[in-house]
Amino acid sequence: MLRRIPLTVCLVALAAALVAGMLVAIGVGSVNIPLAETWDIVTGRPGDPVNAKIIWEYRIPRVLLAALAGAGLSVAGAVLQALVTNPLADPYVLGVSSGASAGAVLVMTLGSAAAGGLGVSSAAFAGAMLAALVVFALGQRRGRLTPTRLVLSGVAVGYVLLAATSYLQLQADPEELRKVMFWMLGSVAGAQWGHLPAVAVAVLACTAGLVLYGRRLNALITGEEPATALGVDVRRARVGLLVVSSLLTGTVVAVAGGIGFVGLMVPHLVRMAFGTDHRRLLPLATLVGALYMVLVDLLSRTVDRPAELPLGIFTAVFGAPFFVWLLRREER
């Protein structure tokens, strides 16, 4: 069983798979560039300047952004699942993604003045936080979180935010609307080197911190009262984790738009294969999420070459059946 393999071995193997996947994703795209030439370009040898530009300016940042987005959403999902002690939680189910979308769309359609001068990214983060806070407030009963209540609140808040986003879309002029729609479906097609540092810092710093916090996450999933008895200040932990998962979701949603189900699917797959210990789960989910997203993005730009399709379509096609399967499994 994979769970008996030491973490280091798993990490090295997955990292190798990720690197391989990224190389394939850099080598293949909507445009054909011979693999030998791609390799020359990647290794810094002079090549055709246009192909070099395609590889360096477009594909590499795109593949990196896909990897970061996948990692960020997977970690956010794993954290939210621990946070609410519910395996069905993910940024989408809990309305956090919808909050981020609403924030971003607000700025995209009405300008940053409408969101108190925030940029698209900050507005996405603020939206994610606000949504999470409302969901948590509604999900409590006598000061204690009820998982079912929480998920239902998430769904309700998500719908309200979706309505708000739709309303904003109606206010938009057609040109803005095209932009918003493109963004809502999720894509890393617009990846630029300039976007990467902020996302990388957010994802890597949050993940590293959470791995160190893994022991407490393990305690948290035993439930609110048992975790308290294990010495975890549950309330404080939840607030902190909420901020971190909103930060992750907001950052990713701001640059890559609405990509659903990744935060639900990846942590589960990793848990099933590698076990529930968050000190293993989080670093492994980071790599698996990154690999998954790199491959999904590769698919999105090759199935209908040279046209590209939005990512959200694929993650939903793979994720929704998984969600249903998970629901049935949970019922047993």
Partner 1 sequence: MRFSHALPLLAALCLPATACAAPSASSAPTASAAGRPAPGYPVTIANCGHSYTFDRAPSRTVLMSGGAVGQVSALIALGVEGRIVANAQSYGASDVPGRAEAIERLPKVKINKGSYDISRESMLSLRPDFVIGTTGFDFDAQNGYATRQELLGIGANTWLPDSTCGGPGTIKGTQTIDDSYEMLRELGRVYGVSGRAEELIARSRERIEQIAAKVKDGPRPKVMYVIPGMEMGAAEFSSIGANGMWNDIFAKAGGVNAFAGVTDAVFANLSKEQVARTDVDAVVLINWRNPDPDGEARKLFAQFPHWRAARDNRYVVLSDSAYLGPDNAIAVERIAKMLHPEKF
Partner 2 sequence: MRLRVDNVSVALGGVPVLHDVCLVAEPGQVVGLVGPNGSGKSTLLRTVYRSLRPGSGTVRLGERDVWAWSSREAARRIAAVLQDDTTPAGMTVAEVVELGRTPHHALFTRHAPGDEAAVREAMARARVSAMAERAFGSLSGGERQRVLLARALAQEPRLLVLDEPTNHLDIQARFELLDLIRELGTTTLVVMHELDLAARVCDSLVVLHGGRVAAAAPALDALTPDVLRHVFGVRARAARDPDGIVRLTYAAQPLAGVPVAGTR
Provide the binding-site residues for partner 1, judged by CB under 8 A: 29-33, 49-51, 53-54, 57-59, 108-109, 111, 170, 172-179, 181-183, 187, 189-190, 192, 301, 304-309
User: Binding pattern to partner 2, positions 95-134, x when CB under 8 A?
Assistant: ----------------------------------------
We find the least distance from the C-beta atom of residue 301 to partner 1, in angstroms, to be: 8
Question: Is 272 one of the binding residues for partner 2 (CB under 8 A)?
Answer: yes
- The Cα–Cα gap between 63 and 40 comes to 18
Q: Quick one: tokens of 120?
A: 């698209």
> How many H helices and E strands in the chain?
15, 2
Examine residue 229 and tell whether it contacts partner 2 (CB under 8 A).
yes
Of the candidate residues 58, 125, 183, 213, the single one contacting partner 2 (CB under 8 A)? 213
Nearest-approach distance from CB 136 to partner 2, in angstroms: 18
Does 9 sit near partner 2 (CB under 8 A)?
A: no
What are the percentages of helix, strand and coil residues in the chain, rounded to 5?
Answer: 75, 0, 20
Residue 170: name its binding partner from partner 1, partner 2, none (Cβ under 5 to 8 Å by kind). partner 1
Q: Running DSSP on this structure, what letter comes out for residue 330?
A: H
Is residue 305 classed as helix, strand or coil in its secondary structure? coil
Asked if 140 touches partner 2 (CB under 8 A), the answer is: no
Q: Residue 287 Cβ, how far from partner 2 at the closest point, in Å?
A: 20
CA angle (100 as vertex; 207, 248 as ends), nearest 5: 5
Out of partner 1, partner 2, none, what residue 232 binds, judged by CB under 5 to 8 A for its kind, is partner 2
Give the residue among 197, 211, 85, 90 at the shortest CA–CA distance from 144: 85
C-alpha distances out from residue 207 to 75, 116, 119, 279, 285, Å: 7, 30, 24, 10, 10
23 binds partner 2 (CB under 8 A): no
Which CB atom, from 149 or from 179, has the smaller least distance to partner 2? Answer: 149
Where b means 16+ CB within 10 Å and e means fewer, 25-60 reads bbbbbbeebeeebbebbbeeeebeeebbebbeebbb
Q: What is the separation of C-alpha 126 from the centre of its chain, rounded to a whole number of angstroms?
A: 16
> Least Å distance between CB 224 and partner 1?
42
* Binding residues for partner 2 (CB under 8 A): 3, 85, 142, 212-213, 215-216, 218-219, 221-226, 228-233, 271-272, 275-277, 279
